[in-house]
Amino acid sequence: MLRLSSLATRSPLLRASAVPAFSSHPHPRRHYAGGHIDPQNVTKVTPAEVELFKVHQRVRDSPVVRSSTQARADKLRWKRNMEYHGKERHAIFDDIKHSTLTERGALREATRCLRCADAPCQKSCPTSIDVKAFISAIANRNYYSAAKMIMSDNPVGLTCGMVCPTSDLCVGSCNLAATEEGAINIHGLQQFAVERFMEMNIEQKGQVDPARGSPAVFEKARIALVGGGPASISCASFLGRLGYKNVTVFEREQFPGGLSASEIPGYRLPMNAVEWEANFMRQLGVDVQYNKEFGKDFTVQSLKDEGYDAVFMGIGLPAAKIDPVFSGFTSKSGFFTSKSFLPNVSKGSKAGCSGSGCGTGGAIEMPPLPSLKGHVVVLGAGDTAFDCATSAFRCGADRVTMLFRQGFGQMRAVPEETELARDEQCEFMPFSITKEVMRGADGHINGLRLARTRFDDAGKLVETEDRVTLECDYVISAFGAQLEGGVEEALGPATLNAWGKMDVDEATMQGKSVPWVFAGGDCAGSTITVEAANDGKTAAWNMHRFLQETLQSGSSADAVRAEYALDKPRLPMMHTAVDEVDISVELAGVRMPNPFGLASAPPCTSGSMIRRAFEQGWGFAVTKTFCVDRDLITNVSPRIIRGSTTGPLYGPSQTSFMNIELITEKTLAYWVRVCEELRADFPNQPIIASIMASYTREDWHELVEKTLPSNPHAIELNLSCPHGMGERGMGQACGQNEEMVRNICSWVREAVGPDYPFFAKLTPSVTDIRTVAAAAVEGGATGVTAINTVSSLQGLNSQGIPWPHVGDEKLTTYGGMSGNAVRPMALKAISSIASSLPGVPIMGTGGADSADATRQMIHCGATAVQICSSIQNEDFSVIQDYIAGLQWHLYSQSRPDLREWVDQSPPGAHASKLTVKDHLPRFGVYELERRNRRKAMAEKEQFAKAHSSVGHADVPEAPPPAQDRPVPSLQSEIGLALNHIANFTDLDIEKQVVAHVDEDTCINCGRCYLACNDSGYQAIAFDAESHLPTITDNCTGCTLCASVCPVIDCITMEPREEIFPDSPFEAHRGIPPEGEVVGTLAGQKDKRVSDYAPVKRPKVSIDESQIKGKH
């Protein structure tokens, strides 16, 4: 494939010595004297507009004729997927992982997840992260919940999100790999979620649970962990969460992280990620002692002698394996091992990895990168070898060749590594081994003599007679690593196995010879970070068992195991102050642990389903609507379908469902029994009975009188079912008539008495839902539920046949649409009822698919929220996402920094992450210019780093800002938005805004330009050379451009006076008006406006003293 930079001299476009200047479009307004359009020429396109529409989309009426030469030139001009030779990355350590995602990318990727049953991705994760739960949380913009799911199972979840070989783990098992679009980018989503949580700066807390072990043991047990890498961080974190108070990590370097810090390059794993994980661990009270080298400063036995009750060995393999042919060669002669090369790369590129006097508080100069040039040969084909190869380019190599004994099919490196090397133009020489090293007169390596290998017929690798000479300037050996002799001696009395690794029980990571020694990571045989993390996790639980069983005096091990149920692992989840936020709420005197309940819908088809939901934490439930037995129904099939609003996207994340399902098929006696059992077994999770009857006082009295003995916490009257039941004189047939609603509520109030709460469930299919709500309250209802499903017809096929259709005649009926598509209607209904009937309790329902959506309903005036479609898209376990999301929102209101966040995104979260921000597009010659500027910047930065003192991770990260106000109660959040909802005539037309484009985040798609031209005000110019849009002062602030822009916050709306200070807003009237204009900026709020006020209280005789049924 030809590279763009190599063609720079062939293309006239790319031969340009400088980036071409952007053309600017003339102002497209058509003004004459007085600023008005010629009344005789109002529809003709002017020359200025012809220029504006130069690249605008038009219906093609003939094929395009263009020479292949021109097509090739155009291809180069607009090329975005340009190759990047490694030598162009000298001193550049920017993130190059293909998996890294912005928030936009993360949201799009997360919505693809199927949330599979018994998800294979979770089974393939060594640490068993709840993958589908954290991806679901990301899709709902609940990044705290996502990070909690990740970090609860893997305390080094950020590191693993960046370096995990997921193609062989979770991603390799993703069910979507069986489809054209491919597997989910799970590791990219994991990295994104934890990075966002890192920005939240929320501290982790340990909790001593007496049910998990003896508090006395938690206090007195002393635990030592040797090595500060992922295995030890994981083990120490779980021990800290359990409540152990004396946990100490001994690290030989001056910085945390082990090999993650010292041997994984910064463009794959930056130091701040490693530092954050170490600090997050230390928040649990874990002590870290630096500059403590195992085998030199202490041994396993000396730790025991000092009084440590258990020791975890989490050291790496410090000694490189070296081919004897390189015996005697050093870095001065051009020979490195991975153990001498990668740590120096890290120290020269990762601020904090060079060591800055841990424990002394000092600072030292950051050393320079290893200096390479010319041709570098890397020996090996594992992950470490590939890190060496790509790092060599950043240290000055012009050419890198990877040499290995076997073929490409036998490479041990994972695709995540090999793809980066291929992208950077590394060369490969398989089936080769070094026989002799060639030196120059100065003793420096100048070449290798190689023997070629092959597999014989028996599949054995054999050496051939072929010999090859390969000229080179440096050699980096990456053949693996091993324990050193001194380290082996220091491990005693622990023993090694036949492979030179610590001899442990692989199920418990406990030493076979010494029960108080545990191990994990490289020294125990695990070769990847995530397995090391899991070793630490496994060891933590089994160390906990060991300590509880051995340190409790007067109790046998069997008795301790039985008392604390130690036979089944029960490690604590990650816990923060967010998880302690109270989200209970009171609805008409009924206390709920949280405001999330099951709607009277398919999730409540049976009592056992409600029981399972309660067991998982749902706050309340409304039964499936039931009736007197003589009105029992039988459903048709099919009856529940995906809505047409989602378009051609299948699977979960449906924006709507439509159903023609009726009420329950079960008897009244069944539901009475359900209420009795659930009320008894879950007294703190309210059960609300949903009932329906015809417009007959006797039927309602009978139904209520038979329901009340089961003692439900409240009753909901279904006056709004939009299909099927109306033909029987029930549901919406009653709910659309104010008088019928008023009478039914009065009949029910007669039956239940003055103090029992009941709610009228309202239909949106009315002219003004406020008057119906008022009628319900006038009749005696305690409150209302808004809204039921919306009557709809979802679609027809090409033969005009609807879906769903029933029977041989393929008939359908109008069904109820639910899901996110109806949320705007629900918000409008809730807010309008809350504004007009203050104090009336409201249960919101309709498209509450996330904690954020339920918060919106609460801010509009709902006290509790009923949920159905979200469960249909996923399952009952989504409750954890709802709870964590609402807790985060309330907690964020107590901290001044987090109050500025929107939807768990900080201010500026969507700004460009580009290092070079110079308003250049990212294609063709502009991208080349960007790269040149970035390279120059990197070389300057590297010089500056090498001559400056740097800080270190041992300095604790800044603590979170203090909470400057108490965490608000959920009750105080109800109706917060109502003061911001007004009539149109209340809106301030003096405050005009215009669009503003961030050129560094713009992807040059021109969607804003097209939309503005054909659906707006022709206020965006589009440069034909750079494809950068420019907002002109024709902009009226309509916001259509921002609405169609595919990049979050690329277009924002800013005050007009800031963007166009010399161009005040002027309404374009076309032809000058005749006479005085009443609706001017100064006089729009005139007396011609009628009494119609969509946000004004209707004329109803309701006051709070009349609201009945509050316990």
- Give the residue numbers marked as catalytic: 721
Nearest 5°: phi and psi at 608? -65, -30
| CA angle (281 as vertex; 278, 283 as ends), nearest 5 | 115
Residue 347 · residue 366 · CB < 8 Å: yes
d(CA 1005, CA 1045): 9
Distance from the Cα of residue 1053 to its chain's centroid: 26
Residue pair 754/1108 in contact (Cβ under 8 Å)? The answer is yes
Per-residue DSSP letters for 258-269? THHHHTS-TTTS
| Token pair recorded at residue 140 | 């709902």
State the virtual CA torsion across 881, 883, 884, 885 in degrees, nearest 10.
80
Closest CA relative to residue 770, chosen from 858, 854, 830: 830
Cβ pair 356, 952 in contact under 8 A:
yes
In order, the DSSP letters of 60-75 are --S-----HHHHHHHH
Q: Note whether 926 and 19 are within 8 A (CB).
A: yes
The Cβ of residue 167 has, within 10 Å, a number of other Cβ atoms equal to: 16
Using CA atoms, how far apart are residues 342 and 629, in angstroms rounded to an integer? 77
Residues 1044, 11 contacting (CB under 8 angstroms): no
**CA gap 862, 843 in Å, rounded:** 5
> How many other C-beta atoms are found inside a 10 Å radius of the C-beta of residue 815?
26
Q: What is the CA radius of gyration of the chain?
A: 35
Please list, in sequence order, all residues whose beta carbon lies within 8 angstroms of the beta carbon of residue 1098, skipping any fewer than 6 positions away.
768, 770, 771, 774, 836
Cβ contact 759:717 at 8 Å? yes
SS3 of 738-784: HHHHHHHHHHHHHHHCCCCCEEEECCCCCCCHHHHHHHHHHHCCCEE
Alpha-carbon torsion (207, 212, 218, 222), positive or negative: negative
**Which contacts (CB < 8 Å, 24+ apart) does range 697-705 have?**
697/743, 697/747, 699/628, 699/631, 700/744, 700/747, 700/748, 700/751, 701/747, 701/750, 701/751, 702/628, 703/627, 703/628, 703/668, 704/748, 704/751, 704/752, 705/751
For 457, residues 6+ apart whose C-beta sits below 8 A from its C-beta are none
